[in-house]
Amino acid sequence: MRPRLGRFLVWRLAQAVVTVACIATLNFLLLHLAPGDVVDVLAGEAGAADARYVADLREKFGLDQPIAVQLGRYLWSLGRLDLGHSFRHEMPVFQLILQRLSPTLLLMVASLGTAFVGGLVLGVTASRRARSLADNVISVLALLAYATPLFWLGLMLIVLVTLKLGLLPAGGMYTIGANQNPVAYALDVLRHLILPATTLALFYMATYTRLMRASMLEVLGSDYVRTAHAKGLSARRVLYGHALRNAILPMVTVLGVQVGSLLGGAVVVEVVFAWPGLGRLAFEAIFQRDINLLLGILLFSSCLVIVVNLAVDLLYTRLDPRIALE
């Protein structure tokens, strides 16, 4: 098993290197084809910039070179694990990403965990009572959550929970200026996390609910489940010991695929709730034309998706021994 796992990891690592190189190249070309760059922003902030000043800036940032030369320098820097320098924040891109990584990971883990567990419970509940009132209510609510835009849902939660009821803070990650001990600080972060995590989780919970319901109905109608019932096993043991393990496999697959879209949704949620994560940082980098920072965030997000999908593939083999590592 270990030699097979070793070959699998080496092969996937080689695939990951090629994939990351292609993604980095495509991101670089697309961003440099878009109008505007860092020089336009700095010249605009200067108020009055002559041609000499603009030319000096382009030479400073290497923008006077042909696009092929710029791309070659960028890929060479990536090979040395150098993501470049952020002109707006005056610090290395990698260091800036690390500073904003923890809030984004906290938001992603909280929302994805809530969505996965909630979708699992609701999907199983709906499948056990198919075509009943509970099934219809869950299906309608899942459809509404799926169809509701994230930014609108976030704003409505702020209006209801914060402005009307005054239960939770409307934005930020913690109370600024509060002198708190570690326990009080953790509780404060949790209070600030509830609204953005709920907003992001509801959309994906709807997907998991519908998927789990369909998967459970298919599994519950299979031959081995009917055989288990014929052996006299209790309904609970058949459901949780036989059906659930196989029905959850499609959810695990979708879990890995949706990490990328979750990062996209995090941009909207982080902007609405002023959450200091990578999504909000990327949003600011777009308007500031901070190309190096935006390229670094996109590349880091791609690497995160690749790592999560690798972990999902390994988990898949644990849940279903019939699937071999290839």
Q: Rounded distance, CA 194 to CA 113, Å?
A: 13
Strand runs labelled E in 49-134: 85-86, 91-92
**Among the listed ranges 33-47, 140-154, 172-186, 243-257, which one has the minimum average pLDDT value?**
33-47
72 in the same domain as 131: no
* Domain that includes residue 125, residue range: 100-319
Per-residue confidence (pLDDT) for residue 170, from 0 to 100: 85
3-state helix, strand, coil split of the chain in percent (to 5) is 80, 0, 20
127 in the same domain as 55: no
123 in the same domain as 86: no
pLDDT per position as a tens digit, 90-122 = 888 888 998 888 898 899 889 988 998 998 889
User: What is the number of domains present in the chain?
Assistant: 2
Residue 324 lies in a domain: no
147 in the same domain as 252: yes
Residue 325 lies in a domain: no
Where a domain ends, among 69, 93, 117? Answer: 93
Residue 223 lies in a domain: yes
169 in the same domain as 36: no
Per-residue confidence (pLDDT) for residue 197, from 0 to 100: 92
Higher pLDDT among residues 271 and 49, named by residue: 271
Where a domain ends, among 66, 93, 120? Answer: 93
282 in the same domain as 145: yes
Residue partners of 2: CB distance under 8 A and separation at least 6: none
113 in the same domain as 63: no
pLDDT per position as a tens digit, 300-319 = 888 888 888 888 777 777 76
Distance of CA 97 to the CA centre of its chain: 15
Residue 42 lies in a domain: yes
314 in the same domain as 260: yes
53 in the same domain as 135: no
76 in the same domain as 127: no
Answer yes or no: is pLDDT of 37 > 80. no
202 in the same domain as 139: yes
82 in the same domain as 22: yes
